Copies of this chain bind each other. A is one copy, B any other.
């Protein structure tokens, strides 16, 4: 599992960078705006996780490959992606949400943080990049609107599933992680597909 963490990180960063650059295009920003939003979306959640846990220098500072990857993806998505597709944005965002959630909980558990805080750390790591992306685009983060389909809830449920399965001694961390990330991912796509929202008071 240890060796797979960087790979998962790269996938989540790449997916988030795409979603960030697409969102910037929607808002008619220039390439600097698009790159910045891509970086913020890709690095935001993991950075917050590392700061809160005291893991500094943060993850992308010590691995320059992540910066290069995000930069290349942002420029490509901004200039070359012909058909803008809202579906791609939701898909890429859901991948990032799923993997980052599990990574957040994993690093917390590695530090002997209690399970309930590990779940919270998973949710923060999962959603924070997207929240920053939306705040910088100057609108109420979509995750908070009453008309929004389940978002943080998917991260919460999937991370809880991961922490629960992971606590069973007989089960390895890897299958637990995959099940957790897939739960977040599938739940998010189903919520968007069937417009599932939470009840209002």
Residues of chain A at the chain B interface (Cβ within 8 Å): 24-25, 27-33, 36-37, 39, 47, 51-54, 56-58, 60-62, 64, 67-68, 78-79, 108, 111, 113-114, 116-117, 120-121, 131, 135-141, 143-146, 148, 151-153, 197-201
| A61-B67 contact, Cβ under 8 Å, with A25-B201, A136-B135 | no
Identify which of B52, B68, B144 contacts A116 (C-beta below 8 A): B68
Contact B143 A36 (CB under 8 A): yes
Contact A32 B140 (CB under 8 A): no
Contact A136 B140 (CB under 8 A): yes
- Smallest CB gap from A35: residue in B: B152
Contact A61 B53 (CB under 8 A): yes
The 5 closest A-B pairs by CB, nearest first: A54-B56, A33-B144, A64-B114, A30-B146, A138-B140
Besides A28-B200, A32-B144, A136-B140, 18 new A-B residue pairs in contact (Cβ under 8 A), listed by A number:
A27-B140, A29-B146, A30-B144, A31-B199, A32-B153, A32-B198, A33-B144, A36-B144, A36-B152, A47-B52, A57-B113, A61-B108, A61-B113, A64-B114, A67-B117, A135-B136, A138-B138, A138-B139
In the complex, 30 of the A-B residue pairs with CB atoms within 8 angstroms, ordered by the A residue number, are A24-B144, A25-B201, A27-B140, A29-B144, A30-B198, A30-B199, A32-B144, A32-B152, A33-B145, A36-B143, A36-B144, A37-B144, A39-B120, A51-B52, A52-B57, A52-B58, A53-B56, A53-B57, A53-B61, A54-B58, A56-B56, A57-B111, A67-B117, A68-B116, A78-B201, A79-B201, A131-B136, A138-B138, A138-B139, A138-B140
